[in-house]
Structure 1
Amino acid sequence: MSQQQITPQLRQWIVEQAQAGHGAEAVLQSMLASGWARDVAVEALETTLQDHLEEQAVRQGLPPAVQVPEPALDESPLYLDAGDRRVHVLQAMYNPRVVVFGSLLSDEECEALIEAARPRLARSLTVATKTGGEELNADRTSNGMFFTRGENEVVRRLEARIARLVNWPEENGEGLQILHYRPGAEYKPHYDYFDPAEPGTPTILKRGGQRVATLVMYLSEPEKGGGTTFPDVHLEVAPKRGNAVFFSYERPHPSTRTLHGGAPVIAGEKWIATKWLRQQRFE
C-alpha cells in the first residue's frame, strides 16, 4: 500500500468527480473503498483539487497564486514559539487568511519603538503605483517613519521574532514602519499588494517582488476608535497594545478579500508598527 502512486489518471478522475458535484469527503470514501491508503488518498485529493482551482482561477484572468508566509497553526495551538517570546494565538480566519496575535511585543518594546521614531516622524506617504515612487494620499492621514532593517537592537529582535512566527526569511521584509494617528486620523480601506495593471508596478517589484503579507502591531491604545477593519468580511481588530494582526494574500487581486483600513481615531492617540513581507529579498 505504501507504494501506491498518484497518477495522472487518478488526478483526472478526482477532477471529474468534483466537476460532477461530488464533495471531497464522498470522493475520499470512494477512494478508501477502492483500496487506496488514507494518506495517499488525502494527499491526492488536496493537491489535485488545489491545482485544479488554481488552473480555473488563472483561466478566469486572475494572477497566479504564490507561496505566502504562514504561521504554524495546523494543530490549532494556543501559543506559538517565536524564539525569544511565547506569542498568543487569539483568532484565526482562513479566507481571508487573518491571524490575531497576543503579546507579540512587550510594553517596554512598544515604548522603545515609539520614542525612537518620534523625532523622525513626517506625513505618511503611499507608494505611487503609476510611477514607482511615493506620493501624498488624502486617504492616509497619519505621520510615520521607517527604520532600516536591523537598525537597532529592538528592531533586530522584533524582525527575528516575526520571521520565526510566520516562517518567512528576515531579508524578505521591508523596513519596519512606525505610524502615529491623532484624533480624526485614519487610513481608508486599501490593498497592500501592488496592482499588476499599474505602470509603476514593474519598478516597485524590482526591490523584492510582490508584497505577500502584512503584520500590523499595536504600540499604544487609543481611548476610542483606531481598529483595523476588513470590510469584505465585516471584521474589526481592536488596537490592543502589544497585540498584532497578520494577513496574507497569495495573489495581487481583490479575490483575496484583504481589503483593510485603519478606522479613524476618535479619542486618544494610536501608534502602530507595520511590517510588509515580500516574495524575495527586499533591497
Structure 2
Amino acid sequence: MSQVVSSELRAWMIEQLAAGHSVPALRRSMLESGWRDEVADAALAEIGKAAPDATPALAVPVPVPGPDLANAPLYIDAGDRQVAVLQTLAHPRVVVFGNLLSDAECDALIAAARVRLARSLTVETQTGGEAVNVDRTSEGMFFERGENPVVACIEQRIARLLRWPLEFGEGLQVLRYAPGAQYRPHYDYFDPGEPGTPTILRRGGQRVGTLVMYLQAPARGGATTFPDVGLEVAPQRGTAVFFSYDRPDPSTRTLHGGAPVLSGEKWVATKWLRERQFT
C-alpha cells in the first residue's frame, strides 16, 4: 500500500471521530484529499481496531435484496411476467431490467400520480423529517403500499423479482422531471452519524436497495448516473435499474443521480427497500 497511516494522520482521524464526525463524512474528506477508496477503508478499519472507544467501527454488512443471478439468466420469472436482465455490475451491485412494466402500467401510474404531484422533498437526516432540497428539482408523490390494483400488482412483482418481503418496501414514489429538472448525485441510505437518523430508522431500519422504474422517457437527457463507476443508465420506458447497498457507507459505491432532462419529460417510479418491515 503506497499510502501509509502516519501517527499524525492517525491522531487526526481519532480526534475527528471522537468529536462526533461520522465515518462516511471522514471517508469523504479523505477521498477529497486524494486518498484512494480502498486505502481510506483500510485506514479507518485500522483506527477502529486501535481505538475502539474513540471511533465507531466501519458499518457491518447486512443482507440485501437482489435477483437470483447465480446461473447468469437472461430472463427472470417475476410471477406474472418474464423480466429481462439487460446489464449487471458487481461493485456496486447494479442490475438493469427490461420488460419490468407494461405500457399500460406506465400510463396508469402517470395518470394516477399526475393530479397529486407536488415539489419533491428529501428525507432530512438532521431532523428526521422532510424538506425541500435544491439538489432535487422534480415533482412527486407517494402511493400507499397496495393503494390500488396496479400498484399492488407491481409491488408483488418487485418482491418476487428481488426476493425481498413486500412489507419491507416503502410506498411507491412517482416523480416527474420537466426540462432542466435533475437530482444531483447522492446516497439513498441514511447517514448513521446524523442526529435525525435514529428517528428515520424506527420505521423499518436502513434502506438497503433502490429500484428506479422508467415510466416515460424524455427526448434527451435524464440518465441515471453512477459517478463513482462512470455508469449511465438510459431511461427507457418499461425498464428499470436496481442497486443495493449492504452498509450505509460510500464504500458501497452507490453514489447516483438523475442527470438533467434536456427536452421532453421523464417520469419514474421509485421503490426503496428497508432492512425490515416498513411502517
Length-normalised TM-score, structure 1: 0.79
Q: Give CA deviations for 1:74-105 in whole Å, capped at 9, x if unaligned.
A: 11000000000100000011100000000100
What SS does the aligned partner of 1:232 have? Answer: coil
User: How far apart are residue 214 of structure 1 and its match?
Assistant: 0.1
Question: Mapping of 1:97-246 within 5 angstroms?
Answer: 97-246=93-242
Quote the residue 2:252 is aligned against.
256
RMSD of the alignment, in Å? 1.3
TM-score by length of 2: 0.81
Tell me how far apart the structure 2 counterparts of residues 61 and 103 of structure 1 sit (CA, whole Å).
Answer: 41
Q: Deviation of residue 70 (structure 1)?
A: 1.6
Q: Which is richer in helix?
A: 1
| Structure 1 range deviating more: 261-270 or 56-65 | 56-65
**Which of 258, 267, 272 is the aligned partner of 1:271?**
267
Structure 1 residue 113, shift from structure 2 partner: 0.1
Query: Partner residue of 1:4?
Result: none
How far apart in 1 are the matches of 2:217 and 2:146? Answer: 26
Determine which of 75, 91, 105 is the counterpart of 1:95. 91
Q: In percent, how many aligned pairs have the same letter?
A: 70
How many residues in Structure 1 have an aligned counterpart in Structure 2? 229
Structure 1 residue 61 displacement after superposition? 3.1
* Structure 1 counterpart SS, 2:190: coil
**Residues 142-193 of structure 1: CA deviation (Å, up to 9, x unaligned):** 0000000000000000000000000000000000000000000000000000
* Residue type of the alignment partner of 2:72: S
Task: Provide the rounded CA distance (Å) in 2 between the counterparts of 1:162 and 1:204.
Answer: 23
- Aligned letter for 1:140? R
Secondary structure in structure 2 of the residue aligned to 1:219: strand
Partner Cα separation in structure 2 for residue 186 and residue 103 of structure 1: 25
The alpha-carbon deviation at position 227 of structure 1 amounts to: 0.5
What is the CA–CA distance in structure 1 between the aligned matches of 2:245 and 2:202, rounded to whole Å? 19
Per-residue displacement from partner, 1:51-77 (whole Å, max 9, x unpaired)? xx9xx6975931111000020001100
Question: Based on CA coordinates, which of the two structures has the bigger radius of gyration?
Answer: 1
Q: Distance in 2 between matches of 1:76 and 1:222?
A: 31
Q: Secondary structure at the match of 2:216?
A: coil
Which structure 1 segments of 5+ residues have no match? 1-52
The letter for the 2-side match of 1:271 is W
Question: How far apart, in 1, do the equivalents of 2:215 and 2:119 lie?
Answer: 19
Letter in 2 for 1:125: L
Matched AA of 1:81: D
Q: Distance in 1 between matches of 2:197 and 2:59?
A: 14
> For the residues of structure 1 that align with 2:148 and 2:66, how far apart are their CA atoms?
26
SS at match of 1:276: strand
Which aligned pairs between 1:50-65 and structure 2 lie closer than 5 A?
A: 59=49, 61-65=57-61
Q: Provide structure 2 residue ranges, at least 5 long, that are not aligned to the other structure.
A: 1-41, 50-55
- Secondary structure of the residue aligned to 2:130 is strand
Which AA in structure 2 matches 1:68?
V
